[in-house]
Amino acid sequence: MPSVYDFTVRDIDGNPRSLAEWRGKTLLIVNVASKCGFTPQYKGLETLWQDQRDRGLVVLGFPCDQFGHQEPGDEAEIRDFCSTHFDVTFPMFAKIAVNGEHADPLYQWLKSEGKGILGSESIKWNFTKFLVDAEGQVVKRYASTDTPEKIGKDTLARLGG
């Protein structure tokens, strides 16, 4: 059975990173954007990462410009924005497509494994989140409106705490 660990993606510096690097960890994978109404969630995602990473949580941010052109910058601009405005230290990746014929293979898999409301696969907006267990399987999909603070209860439960 395929798992999240079968995928390799480019990090924000353009380097290939195998998600197998985080084998055995609980992952929260999020499509992010710098100019979105949900952008303040960066703060909550960073807090979640800081509070739970020693227990095995890894937050992974994937910038996406498919929703209202809310991530217009290049990777250097995105990295600088996240660092300057939200002190983001969790792993960030190169800008990707999450929907359509050019959707990244990782997101094609995430969407097929963690369907949205009424069985929909399509990502509706920025800051959609996927919770992946330590075996690399999607266990829950969250809407943009689901805050990191709310999700933190689920991640903590997954981590045995």
Which residues are part of the catalytic machinery? Answer: 36
Q: Which two tokens stand for residue 161?
A: 């705490």
Contacts of 25 (CB under 8 A, 6+ apart): 56, 57, 58, 134
The C-alpha torsion from 48 through 50 and 55 to 56, rounded to 10°, is 80
Helix 41-52 / helix 75-86 crossing angle, nearest 10 deg: 80
Helix (H) / strand (E) containing 111:
helix 105-113
Among candidate residues 66, 117, 61, 127, the one with its CA nearest the CA of residue 88: 61
Give, in degrees to the nearest 5, the angle at Cα 79 between 86 and 97: 110
